[in-house]
Amino acid sequence: MKLSVSLITFQEEAYIAQALDSVLAQETDFDFEIVVGDDASTDGTRDILNAYRHRYPDKVKLLLPESNYGDFGLSNVRATLDNCRGQYIALLDGDDYWTEKTKLQQQVDFLDGNPECSFSAHRIVHSSNDGHTELSELPASSAAEKPADSAAEKQVSNTGKSNVSSNWNIYTIESLIRLNFAHKISTVARSDAVRAVPEWFYTSNLASADWVFNLLLAQQGHIGFIDSPMAIHRKRGGSVSDVHGQERLLRDRLRTLNILGAEFPQYQSAIKHARLRTNIRLAIVNLSPGIYHWAQRAYCYRRSGYKS
């Protein structure tokens, strides 16, 4: 099996069909499977999943535990990954979806041609309940900031079989520590890198687990990144009330950075940089909801690479 899609879901009756359809629409010259881990949904998610399994019995595999794991979904993630048979593993959540039909082909072609990379990623679009959309942030060397000093950070051409012409950049773990530019739903990783993720991660109960997971992948090799938005991430929450959620996430990010400081002593400079950025954003959040949202959108506009 060339590739497995690890699809995690919980209470996503309204979204799971679109997620599955976006995977089934992928145009590839290789076979792939979809391994769905449902964390004991009680809405109509499982009915939809069973319908897809009935329609695609050779493609869709379901993991349906009787009770909810209750640990930020990390046990569900682990069980799903453990059941993936592919040489590569693509990650997706049940309320998100892919928008480019050649996404998997592009990423697999890149990894086939660049064995020094443990995973590949791309830009995504964040979509809020209030209708606002914004592009995900770019790595430092792709926007207005200078990249971290590293001989590994370079531009390469995609020489794979995909008919889509594209340019890729290769980054190191330091860049990902400084800025989380490689989001979960954009990740396609080598299965051996996934198997090398340490035990402590699955018991960490970190809200920033997706970021940490990719950092642990980046310990196994470099990161291939393409400036092409190929997925939609739904930010499910109220627009103004999200400030409180952002504060919790930023405080969790600081806690995560403290853990990373112990796990990655060789990357203290990048961790210090990330801690400073997080504290600045936390200070802005604490000013007022209006100022926070203005500053957030102004910052994302700059980081997305637009020029006035």
CA distance 86 to 14: 28
Mean pLDDT score, 180-202: 97
pLDDT band at 175 (very low <50, low <70, confident <90, very high): very high
Residue 300: pLDDT over 70: no
Q: 12-26, 197-211, 226-240, 255-269 — which one is most confidently predicted on average? A: 12-26
One-letter amino acid for residue 15 of the chain: Y
* Strands lying side by side in the sheet with 3-9: 60-63, 32-38, 3-9, 88-93, 188-190, 117-122, 222-226, 167-171, 154-157
Please report the pLDDT score of residue 285 as a whole number. Answer: 82
Please report the pLDDT score of residue 58 as a whole number. Answer: 97
**What pLDDT, in 10s, does the model give residues 48-57?**
999 999 999 9
Residues 15 and 129 sit within 8 Å (Cβ to Cβ): no
Q: Which helix (H) or strand (E) holds 242?
A: helix 242-263
Residue 6: pLDDT over 90: yes
CA distance 243 to 112: 41
Please report the pLDDT score of residue 100 as a whole number. Answer: 98
Please report the pLDDT score of residue 83 as a whole number. Answer: 98
Give the chain's domains with CATH numbers. 1-96 (3.90.550.10)
Per-residue b/e over 26-52, b at no fewer than 16 CB within 10 Å? Answer: bebebebbbbbbbbbbeeebbebbeeb
Residue 51: HSE in the Cβ half-sphere, 13 Å Cα cutoff: 10
Dihedral pair phi/psi, residue 288, rounded to 5°? -175, 155
Tokens 């791309």 sit on residue: 122
pLDDT, greater one: 195 or 303: 195
Please report the pLDDT score of residue 38 as a whole number. Answer: 98
pLDDT, greater one: 38 or 72: 38
Token digits of residue 122: 């791309």
Please report the pLDDT score of residue 129 as a whole number. Answer: 83
Token digits of residue 190: 């080598």
pTM (2 d.p.):
0.86
Please report the pLDDT score of residue 205 as a whole number. Answer: 82
pLDDT band at 107 (very low <50, low <70, confident <90, very high): very high
Name the β-bridge partners of 38: 9
Please report the pLDDT score of residue 152 as a whole number. Answer: 53
Residue 5: pLDDT over 70: yes
**What pLDDT, in 10s, does the model give residues 117-162?**
999 999 999 998 888 899 999 997 544 333 434 445 556 654 444 4
**What pLDDT, in 10s, does the model give residues 76-89?**
999 999 999 999 99
Please report the pLDDT score of residue 119 as a whole number. Answer: 99
Token digits of residue 69: 């794991």
